[in-house]
Amino acid sequence: MRIEVWADLVCPWAYIGKRRLEKALATQALAGLGAEVVWRPYRIDPTAPAQATPAEEAAGPEPERGADPLQCAVPPSPERALGLLAEIAAEEGFGTRWGAVWRASSHDAHRLVFLAYDHGGSTAQDVVVEQVMKAHFLDSADISDHRLLNDIADRTGIPDAAALLDSGAADHEVRELLLIGKARSIATSPTLVVGDRALAGAQPPEVIVDFLTAAASVRTREMPEEVRRLRWSESLLEQRDPLGALTLLQPLLDHHGDDLNVRRLAARGYFHSAQLSRAHDVLRQLVADAPDDSYARLMLGRTLRRLGRDEEAAVHLKMAAAMTPDFA
């Protein structure tokens, strides 16, 4: 079973959730599960500076234990790190020295986590995740510092990590995974995902056991990569992120550019990102290849209208309405 953990390395609940997941996997109930834990990137603070700055206090009251949120939707404040979270962290075995002192981008750390999986699979990746989180929450270190990341990589045995990080290796992959997480409606850190099932938050071990037991009992058919990408792109369009949709669609355009569904989705992405000339070219060819496609005619008419070519637009809009009255 593959367990994906979508989490930000600077989310305290992600570190607490890591311990709780480890406890769950060590129970007799999950013995023989054969789980592979794979860490995926999430960003709770996309505006964090590339150059670390001292963490600033954020507005908002200290949460009460009864209202334990178990997850990060926004960056936690130092006050919270010193309060409820520190108390819970101590209960999970982290000791009393707890709390981040730097606010910095976690992007490069996510790149190292991705490279670790490429190098040594989930085992090496787990070591890197643990060392990065320990540095951030227990050692008061700046995890955006490449010297720190290089030291972690050296201890993990990842070759040429310094050169890889400096060259921007895995930048595209991490950014694409962030889009995939968005397309899959990952909204908080941490979120455990098995197949199509998700469990948000650093849930107690017994809740994780129940979740994984239920997931293991369900057999799911693996969806082809091309279909998954198409659905993720559709999801991002529905979330009004046409540029993200086009990013995930690009491999399909490169290798399956003749597919009508791929071309329709690309046309929608171009239209909604105001790339009207590209939308026009794709739709014009679509209408030529599939003259009975009323939706393509509708989109072509709307594109021509936005380009100020009203007479041409009217022809296609009328034909689309004639073929599909709902388009009138």
pLDDT of residue 85: 82
Pair of tokens at residue 180: 């995939």
Q: Which residue has the higher pLDDT, 95 or 183?
A: 183
Residue type, 277: S
**What's the average model confidence in pLDDT over 157-185?**
95
3 state SS of 6 = strand
Q: What is the distance of C-alpha 84 from the center of its chain?
A: 27
Compute the distance between CA of residue 24 and CA of residue 204 in angstroms, rounded to an integer: 8
Q: Is the pLDDT of residue 50 over 90?
A: no
Pair of tokens at residue 72: 């990060």
Compute the distance between CA of residue 38 and CA of residue 187 in angstroms, rounded to an integer: 18
Strand partners, 36: 2
**What's the average model confidence in pLDDT over 4-15?**
96
pLDDT of residue 219: 80
Strand partners, 26: none
Residue type, 162: A
CATH 1.25.40.10 domain range(s) in the chain: 226-327
Helix (H) or strand (E) holding 102: strand 102-103
- Pick from 199, 286, 245: which is nearest to 4 by CA? 199
Question: Model pTM?
Answer: 0.91
Determine if residue 109 is left, alpha or beta; phi over 0 gives left, psi from -120 to 50 gives alpha, anything else beta: alpha
pLDDT of residue 79: 52
Q: How confident is the model at residue 56 (pLDDT cuts 50, 70, 90)?
A: low
CATH 3.40.30.10 domain range(s) in the chain: 2-216
113-147: per-residue pLDDT in tens?
Answer: 999 999 999 999 999 999 999 999 999 999 999 99
**What's the average model confidence in pLDDT over 104-108?**
95
**What's the average model confidence in pLDDT over 318-328?**
94
263-282: per-residue pLDDT in tens?
Answer: 999 999 999 999 999 999 99
CATH topology of domain 226-327: 1.25.40
Compute the distance between CA of residue 151 and CA of residue 174 in angstroms, rounded to an integer: 21
Query: By the 8 A CB rule, do 201 and 70 touch?
Result: yes
Mean pLDDT score across all residues of the chain: 91
- Using CB atoms within 10 Å of the CB of residue 19, give its burial: 0 to 12 exposed, 13 to 18 middle, 19+ buried: middle
Asked if omega into 49 is within 30° of 0 (cis), the reply is no
pLDDT of residue 73: 72
Q: How confident is the model at residue 59 (pLDDT cuts 50, 70, 90)?
A: very low
Q: How is the beta sheet containing 197-200 ordered, strand by strand? A: 36-41, 2-7, 191-194, 197-200
pLDDT of residue 74: 65
Q: Is the pLDDT of residue 97 over 90?
A: no
Q: Which residue has the higher pLDDT, 32 or 287?
A: 287
| Residue the block writes with tokens 């670790």 | 116
Those residues whose C-beta lies under 8 Å from the C-beta of residue 218, and which sit 6 or more positions away, are 195, 197
* CATH superfamily to which 2-216 belongs: Glutaredoxin (3.40.30.10)
